[in-house]
Structure 1
């Protein structure tokens, strides 16, 4: 239970921590206030409690697939927020209130999504006295590792020269946003809103349940058995993000 708790909580915390770190580094490079990120973190924690408490009712909606549709919606909102953040970051108006609102929204959605998963996981096992200690210790370890990884990424991005720092941030935003759509499409397949199938099976050498698989899931949305619809959705989302950012960069003649 200790190792399981570490891996599960680490996966969820790492997803949110990496995103927050990238957004915080972007705000730091722009010289803008990071207060919106803090408010987004607080709002996300509160929202995760609310969602976890009402997940049973949410799951019963839409003929029993309410949970999948709701979580897919959150991933879609996060993707759109990251897309708009990338565009604004390449414009002269990148220090506007809108940027702060979008960043706060992205953090709120990311933290509420991952926090809800952690709360539900802990709630499912904390009543068992024989595993409670391992559950809490593993969760704290996973939380600490994930937060530390996010902090290291933040400082690494801030230490890069401005030109390369911006490029690294835009690459990470693109990868993370693509992972959001990959996960959203997987949820829609579970809800029978998209066709299933299997393009390949890499579970033999890189299982999703392993440490490496869980970390890749957190960073890239890794799927050992992706369906064709997931790959199309992932490719389309990455292409859209890349095209929009490149168009805005060329339009402004940015040196980022």
Structure 2
């Protein structure tokens, strides 16, 4: 149970910490007001608690798949906000779009990841024997995930402006593609999308339940048995966000030279 708690919480915290660190770096490099960033964090935290407290009722929506559908919508919302952010960052006429895109990404991320952590831990509140082990594992996983997020932040913030923007754009592209894959996986579980035979099976190389597998899941949306629709959606979103990122980087460099 200790190892399971470490892995589960590590995945959730790492994914949230990765997104928060990248967006924090961008906010500082673009000189955006901190109040928007902090307000989004606060809103996401409050909504995650509300979501977790009402998860039983939410799960009953849509014939018992309300949680899957709502989580998929949050992933898709994050994906859309990331596309707007990649398109608008560094472009003065789209300043408000950049601010709202970052706010949307932060809020959706904290609601999704924060609620998952709360739901997991509160499932053991009635079992004192397991609760202590779960809390210990959760603190370890959260500590590791938070440490990686801090490391990523200082790594990117200390890069030269152009390199920092380039690394941030690459991270946003990977995260956006990951959001699409995770959303499709949830929609398949909810029978909204057709379940298909997997294209391959890499579980013998990297298990989804391992620490590496969970980190790859958070960073790249890794799944050992992806279906054609997941792979197709991943590469389509990857190409779309990459094209936007390339165009934005050229524009961003031009504005910096002015």
TM-score by length of 2: 0.93
What residue number does 1:228 align with?
Answer: 228
How far apart, CA to CA, are the structure 1 residues paired with 2:134 and 2:252?
51
Deviations 1:27-86 (A, max 9, x none): 111222233222111111111111112222222111222221111111111011111111
State the 1:250 CA deviation.
4.9
Mapped contact 1:6–1:141 kept (Cα < 8 A): yes
How far apart, CA to CA, are the structure 2 residues paired with 1:135 and 1:252?
46
What residue number does 2:208 align with?
Answer: 208
After alignment, is 100-109 or 15-24 more displaced? 100-109
What residue number does 2:113 align with?
Answer: 114
State the 1:228 CA deviation.
0.5
Secondary structure of 2:83's match? helix
How far apart, CA to CA, are the structure 2 residues paired with 1:66 and 1:139?
26
Structure 2 portions without partners, runs of 5+? none
Deviations 1:80-119 (A, max 9, x none): 111111111141246x344223212211110110011111
How far apart, CA to CA, are the structure 2 residues paired with 1:6 and 1:251?
42
Alpha carbons of structure 1 residues 250 and 100: separation in structure 2 relative to 1, 3 Å: closer
How far apart, CA to CA, are the structure 2 residues paired with 1:253 and 1:135?
48
1:40 and 2:27 aligned: no
CA RMSD of aligned residues (A): 1.7
What residue number does 1:73 align with?
Answer: 73
What residue number does 2:186 align with?
Answer: 187
Alpha carbons of structure 1 residues 253 and 84: separation in structure 2 relative to 1, 3 Å: same
How far apart, CA to CA, are the structure 2 residues paired with 1:220 and 1:126?
32
Superposition pairs for residues 19-38 of structure 1, below 5 Å?
A: 19-38=19-38
After alignment, is 161-170 or 50-59 more displaced? 50-59
How far apart, CA to CA, are the structure 1 residues paired with 2:166 and 2:100?
23
TM-score by length of 1: 0.94
How far apart, CA to CA, are the structure 2 residues paired with 1:194 and 1:207?
24
